[in-house]
Chain A
């Protein structure tokens, strides 16, 4: 017979789940949980400086490891603060278990101090959520939360625990089994056979690898299929790293900021195979004009994604790794010389970068320089903005989970806490964060967490003193009427970082950026480097929001392409 209180039960069950790190902030309504956590030697608590930071830190752990990560927040403002990070996890299908404190059950509904309807507010941004009504329910709810977070399409689960449930005593005879990822139903074999036939007869196929490939651990299976049937493959932002950027069949990212050649090839493909991708508007552009000549094979573990936005001729519901494995032996080897030659010509005619753009003083050059210096097993985190798109465009990602980025929700402030999370999960590896001055200011308080934990995170602030992508849209689509996008003051980010006790550098104009970068990357611990970036540097090419991917503005070969 085991006897303990609800809070101790939660901590014990988290230990039994194998949780080693919890990010969070204590407050009135979750203090019993913290009291129980104090007694745990298996779990290390990471004290953040804002609950949103705690949510993103947990995401950094989860995105880098693939395991479910845990974060804690108190009731009221703690819960509302963490919800942005939970919504972000929901849109990118990241397994996170968030445990919030709630006012005692007797006070729920009375507008008590720090009471909000966390359960009601979290419904639309979680895969599932619970308001715990009895301490015995925890025996079922906690393992179930992990099972739901990890099984099928992963996602965040929130558990709201009233304070009196945390202090209530419980006696029980047997520990429940820890929750784990459940096996999926196998993919329909007749649909698989039809898909193989469609791929074998296609003249101009393109495979699109989404975040689902990374969640499923299916990048090897995808590569085998790509190579056997010579299928050129593009990747969504969430899928970057699924196929090495230098692979001869890699087309890089598709969509709004893709290379011209990639979107052009998509316009001409006769078969579009989406694998773990969900036809996001940033990837497809105007959906009715996306891949207009193509039949569609869609593989997804979530049946509700199939034919949600674009009707699939063949819908393969199931684990994408299993589907790819099942397809492989049925595919005929095929060189696809004409199609590959056509794409190579496009790539030669419309390169993404130019020799002038890849010098270390320019954004692309800076990113490429860091890619040379970063250890092979290192991680790249980004915030949201121009720096994120430049990184997605040119960083030569070689493996899944190498890139940590906020795709679906596009949350500025994601990068720093997510980078810290990855660094805590992999203390022996380097983590580089590409951020902007706008994004960094949205969770800048987590510099304190980075210093406190002495994580190996190198922060590259690509500082254009503005909200760069907003400014770019005002430039292109609002008659250059720049409003509320340029910051009116000069912020000394190096001085701020030093104020938190972090090593920091300013890349002064004329200094040797490459040399400075190699110095900071070889030093242990957190470090920030502020690199000025011209405000006029834009992310090109760009498909206007809502337009077809055939309309691409700007870039080094815009004049060659009148489409």
Chain B
């Protein structure tokens, strides 16, 4: 509850709590369930998700648009804990993956 109040405050001040996480993950049919399940059961706000296989298809790259300021560190630690997650990098909001997709909306 308090989390949402804070997020609204941040929006009012015209500062964004939105971040983009870029993950490298093992590519198998269950990996999306693992990532999405983590966000839903820990009540983290996940606003957008893009996932594509890379290379020979052993790995996938995944971009997550996350709306969490207070819990961001916690979100990243939890994501890093998943055995299927190979690496995590963070980017500011407005990553071209999502701004490019916005053209289709």
Give complex CA distance A120, B31 in Å. Answer: 11
For A304, give its contact among B29, B33, B34, B81 (CB under 8 Å). B81
Contact with A along B22-40 (1 / 0, CB 8 A): 0000001110011001000
A120: B residues at CB distance < 8 A: 30, 33
Looking at A123, A128, A131, which has the most chain B CB atoms within 10 Å of its CB?
Answer: A123
Once the chains bind, are B74 and A131 in contact (CB under 8 Å)? Answer: no
Are the C-beta atoms of A119 and B30 separated by less than 8 Å?
A: yes
Which of A123, A148, A308 contacts B34, CB < 8 Å? A123
Residue total for A at the interface (Cβ-Cβ under 8 A): 15
Q: State whether A123 touches B77 (Cβ < 8 A).
A: no
Determine if A307 and B73 form an interchain contact, defined as CB atoms under 8 angstroms apart: yes
Min CB–CB distance B102 → chain A (angstroms):
30
- Of the four ranges (under 10, 10 to 19, 20 to 34, 35 or more), the interface on chain B belongs to 10 to 19
Contact of A124 with B37 in the complex, beta carbons under 8 Å: yes
Min Cβ gap A180→B in Å is 16
B-chain residues with CB within 8 Å of residue A304 when the two chains form the complex: 74, 77-78, 80-81
Residues of B within 8 Å of A128, CB to CB, are: 82-83
Complex CA gap A118/B30 in Å reads 12
State the CA gap A308–B74 with chains docked (Å).
7
**Is residue B41 within 8 Å, beta carbon to beta carbon, of the partner chain?**
yes
Partner of A123, one of B37, B74, B81: B37
Q: Mark A355-394, 1 if CB is under 8 A from B, else 0.
A: 0000000000000000000000000000000000000000
A270 interface residue (CB < 8 Å to B): no
A292 within 8 A of B: no
Q: Which chain B positions have C-beta within 8 A of A148? A: 83
Q: Are A123 and B78 in contact (CB under 8 A)?
A: no
Indicate if the CB atoms of A124 and B83 lie closer than 8 Å.
no
Residues on A with C-beta less than 8 A from B82 are 128
Q: Which of A120-154 contact B (CB under 8 A)?
A: 120, 123-124, 127-129, 131, 133, 148
Point out the residues of chain B lying under 8 angstroms from A119, CB to CB: 30, 33
- How long is the Cα–Cα vector from A157 to B73 in the complex, in angstroms? 26
B81: chain A residues within 8 A (beta carbon): 302, 304
- List residues of A (77-128) whose CB comes within 8 Å of B's CBs: 119-120, 123-124, 127-128
Give 18 new A-B contacts, CB below 8 A, not counting A119-B30, A123-B37, A303-B77.
A120-B30, A120-B33, A123-B30, A123-B33, A123-B34, A124-B41, A128-B82, A128-B83, A129-B30, A131-B29, A131-B30, A148-B83, A302-B81, A303-B80, A304-B74, A304-B77, A304-B80, A307-B73
26 A–B contacts, CB within 8 A, in A order = A119-B30, A119-B33, A120-B30, A120-B33, A123-B30, A123-B34, A123-B37, A124-B37, A124-B41, A127-B83, A128-B82, A128-B83, A129-B30, A131-B29, A131-B30, A133-B28, A148-B83, A302-B81, A303-B80, A304-B74, A304-B77, A304-B78, A304-B80, A304-B81, A307-B73, A307-B74
- A-to-B contact residues, CB < 8 Å: 119-120, 123-124, 127-129, 131, 133, 148, 302-304, 307-308
8 pairs of A and B residues whose beta carbons are closest in the complex: A304-B77, A128-B83, A123-B37, A124-B41, A304-B78, A303-B77, A123-B33, A304-B81
